[in-house]
Amino acid sequence: MEDLLFELQLAMPQVILGVINGAFYALLSLGLAVIFGMLNVINFAHGAQFMMGAFVAWMLLAFLGIGYWPALILAPLIVGLVGVLMERLMISRLYKLDHLYGLLLTFGCALVIEGLFRNNFGSSGQRYTPPREFQALNLEIGDFFLPGYRVWVLIAATAVCLATWLVIEKTKIGSYLRAATERPQLVQAFGINVPLMMTLTYGAGVALAAFAGVLAAPIYSVHPAMGANFIITVFAVVVIGGMGSIAGSIVTGFLLGFLQGVTEVVYPPFSQTVVFVIMAIVLLTRPAGLFGRA
């Protein structure tokens, strides 16, 4: 019994770390799901937009002295606005074509954005120190220590995921969004400006990525490839959860983060691969994903 307790204590940090990663997966795949549902575009620029969120927060602090709390609001707004411009100027021209073109375009955008940041800031990371007040949230149970900032990330990510889900499932605006996901033309024939809705939805999805980026800035160093590292796993999460499923993307994000953490304890070399093995199994047995409608 005591051995088991000891083992559990050793395992805890890895599992918690996994769940925190899961929080980022959930936030990012949620944005992807919202965008895919409404625009039918697989937004490959999502990782770059996550990275932009982190960089904007860092730049606000480094150049303008604007701290973490305002940045948590400002960076998603600024990056979301960039998203709105991208949708209006480029992505909206591709709606009549196959999904593949949207994916290629946004992939190209991701490469350009990352290149621009690498050119200006180099590929080594920038440090972003979180405000001191998070130390009040530090969690110590026996030998187990969790920095307060990570506790905050868990709370903030969960809250934002829940709020997004509530808006989509329980509000009038959300019902427009769900309806337009099914039949955009008919919703427009009811008098709703669907093209404008698509622009704002893309902006909101991008803002979610940027919000995740600001949350991530103090944990990971702020560097141009930080999104690219995440996004591959996030796409696996989206496939497992089911393309376009809102609740599915949130639950799957947290679940897979947790699973990665557990794998890290049980068999570390497998921890980076486990998500993709699950993806392959899900694709073979339930191609629409765990929560997707076939």
Give the interface segment with other proteins, choosing from 24-32, 84-92, 182-190, 256-264 (CB under 8 A): 182-190
**Looking only at residues 155 through 174 of this chain, which bind other proteins when binding is defined by CB under 8 A?**
172
Q: Which SS3 state, helix, strand or coil, does residue 38 take? A: helix
**Minimum distance of other proteins from residue 69's CB (angstroms):** 36
Q: Which of 1, 124, 127, 185 is the binder for other proteins (CB under 8 A)?
A: 185
Residue 122 to residue 245: CA distance in whole angstroms? 37
Residue 239 to residue 262: CA distance in whole angstroms? 21
| Pick 127 or 172: Cβ nearer other proteins | 172
In degrees, rounded to 5, the angle at the alpha carbon of residue 16 between the alpha carbons of residues 11 and 21 is 130
Q: Which residues contact 204 (CB under 8 A, 6 or more apart)?
A: 31, 34, 80
**Minimum distance of other proteins from residue 200's CB (angstroms):** 14
Token representation of residue 8: 């559990």
| Pick 64 or 189: Cβ nearer other proteins | 189
How many CA within 13 A on the CB side of residue 62?
12
Give the number of residues in contact with other proteins, rule: CB under 8 A.
19
4: exposed, middle or buried (Cβ count in 10 Å: 0-12, 13-18, 19+)? exposed
Assess 193 for contact with other proteins (CB under 8 A): yes
Assess 191 for contact with other proteins (CB under 8 A): yes
Assess 178 for contact with other proteins (CB under 8 A): yes
**Minimum distance of other proteins from residue 181's CB (angstroms):** 7
> Which residue reads 């890895």 in tokens?
14
Assess 182 for contact with other proteins (CB under 8 A): yes
47: exposed, middle or buried (Cβ count in 10 Å: 0-12, 13-18, 19+)? buried
Q: Which of 7, 93, 183, 277 is the binder for other proteins (CB under 8 A)?
A: 183
What is the Cα 122 distance to its own chain's centre? 24
Identity of residue 221: S
Assess 243 for contact with other proteins (CB under 8 A): no
Assess 90 for contact with other proteins (CB under 8 A): no
| Pick 190 or 270: Cβ nearer other proteins | 190
| Pick 93 or 183: Cβ nearer other proteins | 183
Assess 65 for contact with other proteins (CB under 8 A): no
Residue 58 to residue 18: CA distance in whole angstroms? 25
Q: Which of 175, 229, 272, 273 is the binder for other proteins (CB under 8 A)?
A: 175
Contact positions toward other proteins, by CB under 8 A?
Answer: 172, 175-176, 178-179, 181-183, 185-195
